[in-house]
Amino acid sequence: MGELTPINAARPKVLEFFAGIGLARMGLESAGFRVAWANDYEPDKKAMYDAQFRHSDDHSFALGDIGKVKVADLPRDASLAWASSPCTDLSLAGGRAGLAGAQSGTFWHFIRLLKELEDDRPEVVVLENVVGLATSHGGDDLTAAIRAFNELGYSVDVLAVDARRFVPQSRPRLFLVGAQNPPEDIAEPNSELRPDWLQWVYGDKSLRTHRAALPAPPAPKLTGLGDEVEEMGLDDERWWDRDRTEAFVGSLSLAQRERVATLRRETGVKYRTAYRRTRNGVAVWEVRADDISGCLRTARGGSSKQAVVRLGNKRLQVRWMTPREYARLMGAGDYDLSTARTNQALFGFGDAVAVPAVGWLAEHYLMPIIKGSMARAGRTEQVASVK
């Protein structure tokens, strides 16, 4: 027999920046990639990451501020660099300080490290963030991010993908895909992945962009939350007591209260999610009308956590959503939670990217670019890389 190539050696290598608890890794590796290096600055997230993936000799994790990562720390033969940079300063909740913000500004350290890799820069880069990046500072932040990639020799595609296409959770996210050897630019009218509010990117002639020909993503789910809810007895102590449940109902608007009352009277059991909002300076509960979860968020205080409402057969019960339910709604139902505290897990999942969304992008876009199976753009469109 001839020499055998180790399985890992044949899998394109990935650098995973802002790795969190590793959900991007799960999605990428499901499509055939191998994450060889990762970093994050939060010990609690690394602890969950370690519990899930265990130690291996072909992977290293740099815990700490990305500003202190040196290019010498990075593997030099990676095909893909993935960055789920902090969205705090780019979301409505974060005051929209933009890429100059204290946390989201860490994006520029990602760019610094790519630049310092010089000729060893990965062929493909991905920046994942909230859709607020598209409008932050009137679009200037998205323009700045694209231009930064352009200056490193990458053409950029911008996609909007909602995790609801894969799991029963509304979780829209923006994905910037940069390619040194981009696929052919194919304009697609009425694109599901590049909606009208993103089209200005491709009309800006000062930016180098492309639109890869991709299959249609799955249609958004209309149901499925009930399938992800953990089974627990009606007398489980996690259900709220009578006083707390009555206070919950009392905070609902009249329309919401009527909707809940109708579902409560119906035969059979249905589940809904509820979240607190501030209306006219008062914290109130709102219950979703559909069988879909609202966007999971980091559990900084009770207002960002979601509750599960059980309705039907003349009963109404409420409790906080569990870590396992968070995991399932992120497409990571088998995630190892054996060592995680409740709030640690809720924070980790609420600050992550949905596994199947990453897996779909990796399978239909990232891997084909790297394997050379997408039609390439003409050489005349190439720009010189910055050294």
Quote the pLDDT of residue 215: 95
Give the C-alpha distances (Å, rounded to integers) separating 272 from 166, 206, 223, 239, 319. Answer: 18, 46, 10, 14, 11
d(CA 169, CA 162): 9
For the chain, domain boundaries: 8-220+353-381, 231-321
Estimate to the nearest angstrom the gap between the alpha carbon of 108 and the chain centroid. 19
Determine which one of 19, 26, 81, 87 is catalytic.
87
Task: Identify whether the C-beta of residue 252 lies closer than 8 Å to the C-beta of residue 287.
Answer: yes
Q: Is 295 a catalytic residue?
A: no
Q: 8-220+353-381 has which fold?
A: Rossmann fold (3.40.50)
In percent, the amount of the chain with pLDDT more than 70 equals 89
DSSP 8-state assignment for residue 21: T
* Alpha-carbon separation of residue 322 from 99, 100, 265, 286, 300 (angstroms): 33, 35, 26, 19, 15
Residue listed under structure tokens 């199947």? 356
| Nearest one of 301, 340, 322 to 20, comparing CA atoms | 340
Q: From first to last of its 387 residues, what are the pLDDT tens digits of the chain? A: 455 445 566 899 999 999 999 999 999 999 999 999 999 999 999 999 999 999 888 999 999 999 899 999 999 999 999 999 875 554 333 444 555 555 556 888 999 999 999 999 999 999 999 998 898 888 888 999 999 999 999 999 999 999 999 999 999 999 999 999 999 999 999 999 999 999 999 999 999 999 999 999 999 999 999 999 999 999 999 999 999 999 999 999 999 999 999 999 999 999 999 998 888 888 889 999 999 999 998 765 445 789 999 999 999 999 999 999 999 999 999 999 999 999 999 999 999 999 999 999 999 999 999 999 987 765 434 444 444
Q: pLDDT for 43-93, tens place per residue?
A: 999 999 999 999 888 999 999 999 899 999 999 999 999 999 875 554 333
In angstroms, rounded to a whole number, what is the distance separating the alpha carbons of residues 124 and 101? 26
The answer to whether 83 touches 41, Cβ cutoff 8 Å, is: no
Closest CA relative to residue 102, chosen from 92, 110, 90: 90
User: To the nearest 5 percent, what fractions of the chain are helix, strand and coil?
Assistant: 40, 20, 40
